[in-house]
Structure 1
Amino acid sequence: MGPAYDLPSVMSKFLHLGMSLDDVIGAVTWIPAKAIGWDDRIGSLGIGREADITVLRLEDYNNVMEDSQSQVRHVEKILRPVAVWRRGATFNITKPSVQPNTEAMASNRKEWDNIIIRDAHPPSV
């Protein structure tokens, strides 16, 4: 239900914040695998590793994305999944039903005054 709808949405937010595409890919693949000590099994492709693959397309996008405090940013690029395999089996691609989730944003609005780092004005929902 958002704001972390799926991994490609979070990756798109990282891109918007200025991370390079290479750094974004690393942040969701080999870096977390190494952090949990599984870099010998997951996080990159190779002989003897699980074949977990997601093909992504970088697309133009003209919409807003919200963060966990319902602050919004206009995003111009988004990563969209094209194909997904887990352990070699094909998986269907799902899409968030509503983005941004204005219902969740309205619910978060009551916490606006408690946010230390925030935009000048609360989001209008």
Structure 2
Amino acid sequence: MSRNRFTSAALAALLIAPVSASADDAADAMVQDALPIMYHSCASVVEQGHGDEAFVYDVVEKMTAVSLYNRQIDITVFSDSDADEARLHAAFVEALKAGCSADQNALLAGVVDNAVKAALGL
């Protein structure tokens, strides 16, 4: 899978993973679901996915949800239109591509977290 297909397919997670800090049970379940995949690097998620974009998408989505939850971010505050969603998605994709391009062995969760911060201007 090419890096562009990886980022394009997987990184819409920024826009579809809103998490409310008040939903403790759901948040705990989400974190527990993400823990087994937090070891991935930029390279390992693509390697383990064996070309399965849905696998890569799922990993990035879970990591994005954890990042948003940890930062207590309600993504709907940053996006109330299709144009906002497109802008945030593009910024997230670019930040993730830059982070993974800089170091393919970087821990993906850290790259995702940095991409969330960059896309939201935090």
More strand by share: 1
Question: TM-score category by the smaller chain?
Answer: under 0.3
TM-score w.r.t. length of structure 1: 0.26
More helix by share: 2
Structure number with bigger Rg: 1
